Amino acid sequence: MRANDRPFNLSYHYAVSNNAIKTSKYNIFTFLPLNLFEQFRRLANAYFLFLFILQLIPQISSLSWFTTAVPLILVLSITAVKDASDDIFLYMIVKFILLSSILSADLLLLSSSEPLNLVYVETAELDGETNLKVKQALTVTGDMGDNIDELAGFTASQQPSGQVQGTLTVNGQTYALDNDKVLLRGCTLRNTEWCFGLVIFGGPDTKLMQNSGKTTFKRTSIDHLMNVLVLCIFGFLASMCTVMAISNAIWEVREGSVFTAFLPREPGVDAALSSFLSFWSYVIVLNTVVPISLYVSVEIIRLGNSFYIDWDRKMYYPKNDTPAQARTTTLNEELGQIKYIFSDKTGTLTQNIMTFNRCSINGKGYGELFDFSGQRNTDKVDFLWNHLADPKFIFHDHSLVETVRAGNPEAQAFFRLLALCHTVMPEEKKEGELNYQAQSPDEGALVTAARNFGFVFRSRTPETITVVEMGKQVTYELLAVLDFNNVRKRMSVIVCSPEGKLTLYCKGADTIIYERLHPSCNKLMKVTTDHLNEYAGDGLRTLVLAYKDLDEDYMDDWKKRHHEASTAMDGREERLDELYEEIEKDLQLLGATAVEDKLQDGVPQTIEQLAKADIKIWVLTGDKQETAENIGYSCNMLREEMKDVFIVAANTAEGAFALEKDLQLELLRTACMCQTVICCRVTPLQKAQVVQLVKRYKQAVTLAIGDGANDVSMIKAAHIGVGISGQEGMQAVLSSDFSFAQFRYLQRLLLVHGRWSYLRMCKFLRYFFYKNFTFTFVHFWYAFFCGFSAQTVYDEWFITLYNLVYTALPVLGMSLFDQDVNDRWSFQYPQLYSPGQLNLYFNKKAFVRCMMHSCYSSLILFFIPWAAMYDTVRDDGKDIADYQSFALLAQTCLLVVVNIQLCLDTHYWTAVNQFFVWGSLAAYFAITFTMYSNGMFLIFTSAFPFIGTARNSLNQPNVWLTIFLTSLLCTLPVVAFRFILIQLWPTINDKMRHKVRKEALPAPAPRRLPTRRISTRRSGYAFSHSQGYGDLVTSRRFLLKKPLKSRLALTNIESFYCEA
């Protein structure tokens, strides 16, 4: 594309793409057809639509059309309202974010107001890291300042992908482009007055959208099982209807001809046609094996359990005023079946806040002090004596301040090194209000510590560093910066004090620095090593500090050779490394620092609880290996007794190749053999690939949790996606199914809400299938006594209200309030979670058991009332053995039995449960007496033909005796069978309920301080993963601040883009 040449770009077929993205499913015109299409893709909804059409055919239907139409319309309406509200909610959130100050396209940085054409960007929305990063424009475009109208360059780039590679051609010269010159969509511009950029990728072509992955409609494992069971039920229904149709044909041939004298057949209807029509009639009569109210109830249960998550005060984070949120209402029970958790590190397990925690100076340790009870026994150090101190800095060891203020030379040299040896860039907009721009939060923490202890890094030029030492301003001449890289694992600066003293200050990994110490430091090195072991045991990031006084003549010679090496055309890096090795030896040890990458509260305890629940936790992070390993130890995922530690590092050829098809299974097999899996240096798409690998081959329910845009593809790929909401942005939350502010809430989400939701849903399905199969099987047995004519055994109004009124609320009460044990016992015994992982509560075997139970109950419910009513007379000698009286008795027995079964299934009774059960029975009798009254018959004669049946039947003692006998025969075998199971094969839930009845409620778990471990594993951490800023800070043009010369100061984010 060409800059400032829109006609050319519009004529070029590839270059033009708009910056629009679409996150909503519907618009006002497509909502109704698309939503109905999606809903009728569900097999059950399509089936009930088919039933409704059948019921409109008079020759087939023996039931009124409204028995199916009303529930179907109700289901479609509830689901449509929910889908519309979810889509509108997502649209409003995305719209709000797009109106914020976040860059909304991938830009090639052209120029900025800052020295060296730098800009500072925050990438929290992309990777969860809150430290500012530096981007730098090309010199050729940066020199234009804000006169970008003069730019007439030509940009060539590859197709959108994870890496930016291209060229910029200006005035015939071609310049290479890379990621360091590109501002990505999702970044936030900080501490930069203005900048200009050229849009290179927009909309779906941006790196953020390319890495976001594809949004898929998630279904729970129970949903998938339900689809299989519904197909089986359809087959079973077809079998029953076929049996009924064949039986009808046989009956018509053998018995039907006898009745033709007073019940003549319609013209053209013979036994074969009657059998065919009977098949479809029984499809309608027996359709309650898959009641449509099942799906209404499932949606209500899921919605109710989602509200429990939203309302849970124990998952509310008051610091940020952030409640937990169930962003979807279709996945609650899946939370009770998680087997694998894939977690990001930065911002998810950690707070991404580095604090100077402890240090060792000249063999003496300083830092946090605890008494024997684990409580701090000192107050916070007061830094009021230092007017330049950072008020947010916290330290608890007063002795260190006293040592520094007393003039201890080693302590002062220690903090002087921290104030000088770094590449931090200061910013002071107001007097005394310092803001440090550090390449890594670790380095910022060390400079801030030096600032508070009296050695304040104030400003720098390419040749000098100004430090306020104990209130006195001192300016050091900066002679050289020996920058950090991943091979050196150390950084040094050479400075000259105002007195002319030349000193080299060095900090780095302990193993690297120890190799370069003077032999006189051996004793001090041993003591410092003990301190380092202690710090590493507490999971702290450690660095060793050393210095060396230099001779002036030697330094002059070294500088001359350094200049020659730095300007050499061949072997530049090797020659510089040799010079660095030469001067960085015979160092004098000063001490060691310990920086804490603060974990979020409760992370180790949460991981421990989830491990007890047999949940595997994999950490997928883009950090380097040492950082990932350190967090593994801090979280107690890795322990010292683990001798073989395998780290899958995706930045190596082997690591990336391991995700290829040929080695995927080997990688998975090896990883699953490990107690802990940490994948480091993985890209966002590789995170998703790991999740999909486990999903595909392990057949286990997965959960992904993260906080940044780099976690979005992983969150979308997992069965359950959880977003951590907080200071790191909203991209992960927007793509998640559940969100909250702290990682520790995950254990409550899974062990309490997830387990309860799964338990309730399984109980609901078992009971729902039981009561509806029982209801339907009674029709089946009755067919043998009505000539297979598809006559219903119950009153038509009872059939309509059975699932919608009489049995709806009791089962909802159980499914919304039931719990085997309370939340404290759930935390006390995480092993209660394991049945959900094994899918024990509802599976194909449980479904078959429900059918067998229903078959037995239906036999009792039909033949006991039939035998009791056969040739029975009233007390006054009148016959009551009519169809209407039998229908009333059968349906009353059915309703009483299914309510007793519900009571047996309920473990946790509330006033609401009681009201629903007794209220439903009362409603049944009230509605029955009303519908069977003289008044209803007179007003709606054809609709209410059962006149007087209720009062004539229910006043007979033998009717109530029949109800009691039927209930007893249906209930006693169930009670006996469950008693035997509990005695001989008790489940973990049975054992726990027995224990709960005997023991007092466990107290809330006390907060435990992490136990100290002895470790010899350390690393240098106070550096970024990439090359340092040494060359940048020593640039001759570092302080050239450029004003905005032309028309206006750009503050609107859209104004940063060059029109292309």
The annotated binding site for ATP is made up of: 344-346, 443, 484, 507, 541, 621-623, 681, 687, 710-711
**Residue 658 to residue 642: CA distance in whole angstroms:** 23
Give the amino acid at 338. Answer: I
Q: Is 344 a catalytic residue?
A: yes
14 to 17, 201, 665: CA distances (angstroms):
8, 11, 39
CA angle 847, 851, 853 (to 5 degrees): 110
The structure tokens listed for 331 are 């996945």
- Whether the CB-CB separation of 586 and 519 falls below 8 Å is answered with no
> Angle 409-420/441-452 helices, nearest 10 degrees?
140
The structure tokens listed for 192 are 């930069």
Mind giving me the DSSP string for 183-200? EPTT-EEES-S-EEEEEE
Token pair 């059409």 in the structure block, residue: 53
Residues whose CB falls within 8 Å of the CB of residue 844, separated by 6 or more in sequence, listed in order = 225, 228, 229
The structure tokens listed for 493 are 């600066």
Alpha-carbon dihedral of residues 293, 294, 299, 301, nearest 10 degrees?
A: 110
Mind giving me the DSSP string for 319-364? TTTB--EE--SS-GGGGGSEEEEEE--TTTTEEEEEEEEEEEETTE
1016: which DSSP letter?
-
- Whether the CB-CB separation of 213 and 176 falls below 8 Å is answered with no
- Whether the CB-CB separation of 344 and 603 falls below 8 Å is answered with no
**Residue 882 to residue 795: CA distance in whole angstroms:** 13
Give φ, ψ of 174 to 5 degrees.
-105, 130
**Residue 175 to residue 142: CA distance in whole angstroms:** 13
CA angle 480, 482, 485 (to 5 degrees): 155
Q: CB neighbours (10 Å) of residue 268?
A: 6
Known binding residues are 344-346, 443, 484, 507, 541, 621-623, 681, 687, 707, 710-711
The dihedral built from the CA positions of residue 946, 950, 956 and 959, taken in this order, carries a sign that is positive
Length of the chain: 1060
**Residue 372 to residue 377: CA distance in whole angstroms:** 10
Give φ, ψ of 518 to 5 degrees.
-70, 145
Query: Active-site residue among 344, 442, 483, 737?
Result: 344
Residues whose CB falls within 8 Å of the CB of residue 441, separated by 6 or more in sequence, listed in order = 129, 130, 131, 352, 353, 354
**Both ends of the chain: CA-CA distance in Å?**
7
**Of 837, 622, 610, 619, residue with least CA distance to 719:** 837
- Whether the CB-CB separation of 61 and 55 falls below 8 Å is answered with yes
Known binding residues for Mg(2+) are 344, 346, 707, 711
Helix or strand (DSSP H, E) at 1013:
none
**Residue 724 to residue 759: CA distance in whole angstroms:** 26
> β-strands 464-469, 182-183: how paired?
unpaired
Active site residues: 344
